[in-house]
């Protein structure tokens, strides 16, 4: 009878923390997020954005990945040109992010989450929206407002996007230092990953951090310019060009506004770097800006590693860890060509979301590994305890559970574009037709150019699916 009770204790002890917490689904713990999103992204690639929404996992506000589901849904609604629905969905996500930000650091709910994570994995904790995703949320909200002819609402959102980047810049170095220090205190260092964890340098490329987004800065500059706030526009164009100094459209924008605002010192500096303005904007012409969103960002993958834990003077013990990683290198894409009646324009890259995501993950690795160290050690202690109390049954059940539950947190906003290019041109007012050459095909964009105004076009290209929306600002 005693032995029977011991076996029951094994099962109860093993699953008590999980069954008592309603903030996650068991599928989230034992199935990687990238696997859950496979069918969604397949429908997105086919251009069936309604089907993609219907394939999203059914999560409610009690689920710790609810905010991520809202981000995915809002993006798909945006692609489906359902601006109002997308606006509402993103507003919900923003409110949840703000609630999370304003919470106290120590709460009972957080304690429950941590307990669930210790006996399972990071998927049992609330999804922490990284800064680059928060910036993209506000970027899409700004576009949602624009396509509903609300420039003031768009400006509110773009200011929020800029604030996200400013706040991230303030805390970035402190967060990285704290993460490395916590890892060291756990008995490891960042060097522990050397030679074991795959390098993501080919994905990260030249980006300096995972939160400064030239796409957002450029959209901000356009909106400020459209509203007549040229100084603010100039500031954000300069921020964008510091990230993408080789983008010729950005070069012309800073040269153009430096000339217009009579920023002589800046103008001399920019002329030395980029040359002179190629051609002045003629009075009465309209400016056309094309954003070209290309493909879909890759998902995180799960990788297993065997790493030593402990101090060298106390002996080292090897444990198996699961960590997220971006495995696939950045695909090399040719420039897209946009033709007007008079001239051809080549697109220039303004952001690689994949690079921002990989850099953010790289900076988070010390924190991730610290939590993994705590987790695997705790699981091993539980296994040993259950083995002593319930013999082989306890040992086998605990071992099987530890193996099954050792999953990396691969959650990320997976419906974002991988790359965004820009084209900027000056056109005569009136009806115009643009031809976009992509993947060996030619797509037509019809638009009405208005004098001395900016026409914004958001063009999406996912596999063979293309679509666009335009608005006169």
| DSSP assignments along 124-181, one per residue | GS-----HHHHHHHHHHHHHHHHTTT-HHHHHHHHHHHHHHHHHHHHHHHHHHHHHHH
Two structure tokens written together for 338: 């946009």
335 CB contacts (<8 Å, ≥6 apart)? 346, 347, 348, 421
What pLDDT shows up at residue 50? 96
Are 94 and 161 within 8 A, CB to CB?
no
23-73 pLDDT per residue, tens: 545 555 556 788 889 999 999 999 999 999 999 988 888 888 899 999 999
The domain ranges of the chain are 2-472
Sheet holding 337-339, edge to edge: 344-346, 337-339, 430-438, 441-449
Q: Please name every residue paired with 457 in a beta bridge, in sequence order, or none if there are none.
A: 290, 470
What pLDDT shows up at residue 135? 96
Which is more confident, 341 or 70? 70
Rounded-to-integer distance, Cα 331 and Cα 80, Å? 26
State mean pLDDT over 355-382. Answer: 78
Query: What CATH architecture does domain 2-472 belong to?
Result: Alpha Horseshoe (1.25)
What pLDDT shows up at residue 55? 96
Q: Given pLDDT bands bounded at 50, 70 and 90, which one contains residue 181?
A: confident
Which is more confident, 91 or 180? 91
For the cut 60, the answer to whether the pLDDT of residue 117 exceeds it is no
């Amino acid at each position: 009878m005693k032995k029977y009770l011991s076996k029951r204790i094994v099962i109860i002890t093993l699953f008590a923390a999980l069954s008592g917490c309603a903030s996650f689904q068991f599928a989230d713990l034992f199935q990687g997020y990238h696997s859950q999103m496979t069918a969604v992204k397949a429908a997105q690639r086919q251009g069936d954005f309604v089907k993609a929404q219907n394939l999203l996992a059914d999560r409610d506000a009690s689920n710790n990945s609810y905010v991520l589901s809202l981000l995915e849904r809002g993006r798909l609604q945006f692609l489906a040109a359902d601006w109002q629905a997308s606006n509402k969905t993103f507003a919900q996500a923003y409110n949840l992010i703000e609630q999370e930000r304003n919470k106290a650091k120590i709460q009972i709910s957080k304690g429950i989450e941590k307990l669930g994570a210790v006996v399972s994995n990071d998927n049992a904790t609330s999804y922490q929206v990284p800064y680059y995703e928060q910036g993209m949320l506000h970027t899409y909200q700004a576009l949602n407002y624009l396509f509903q002819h609300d420039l003031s609402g768009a400006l509110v959102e773009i200011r929020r996007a800029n604030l996200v980047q400013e706040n991230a810049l303030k805390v970035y170095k402190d967060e990285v230092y704290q993460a490395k220090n916590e890892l060291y205190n756990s008995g490891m260092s960042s060097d522990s990953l050397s030679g074991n964890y795959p390098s993501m340098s080919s994905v990260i490329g030249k980006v300096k951090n995972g939160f400064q987004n030239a796409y957002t800065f450029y959209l901000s500059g356009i909106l400020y310019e459209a509203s007549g706030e040229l100084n603010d526009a100039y500031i954000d164009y300069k921020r964008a060009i510091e990230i993408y100094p080789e983008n010729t459209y950005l070069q012309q924008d800073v040269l153009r506004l430096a000339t217009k605002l009579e920023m002589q010192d800046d103008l001399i500096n920019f002329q030395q770097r980029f040359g002179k303005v190629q051609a002045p904007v003629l009075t009465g012409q309209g400016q056309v800006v094309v954003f070209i969103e290309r493909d879909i960002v890759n998902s995180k993958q799960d990788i297993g590693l065997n790493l030593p834990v402990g101090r060298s003077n106390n002996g080292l013990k090897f444990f198996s860890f699961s960590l997220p990683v971006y495995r696939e290198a950045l695909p090399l894409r040719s420039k897209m060509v946009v033709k007007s009646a008079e001239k051809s324009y080549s697109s220039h890259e303004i952001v690689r979301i994949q690079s921002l995501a990989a850099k953010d993950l790289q900076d988070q690795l010390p924190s991730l590994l610290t939590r993994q160290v705590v987790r695997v050690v705790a699981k091993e202690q539980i296994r040993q305890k259950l083995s002593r109390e319930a013999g082989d049954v306890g040992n086998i059940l605990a071992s099987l559970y530890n193996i099954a539950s050792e999953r990396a947190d691969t959650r990320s906003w997976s419906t974002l574009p991988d790359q965004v290019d820009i084209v900027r041109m000056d056109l005569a007012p009136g009806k115009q037709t643009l031809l976009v050459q992509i993947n060996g095909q030619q797509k037509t964009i019809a638009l009405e150019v208005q004098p001395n105004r900016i026409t914004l076009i958001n063009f999406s290209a996912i596999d063979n699916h293309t679509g666009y929306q335009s608005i006169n600002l």
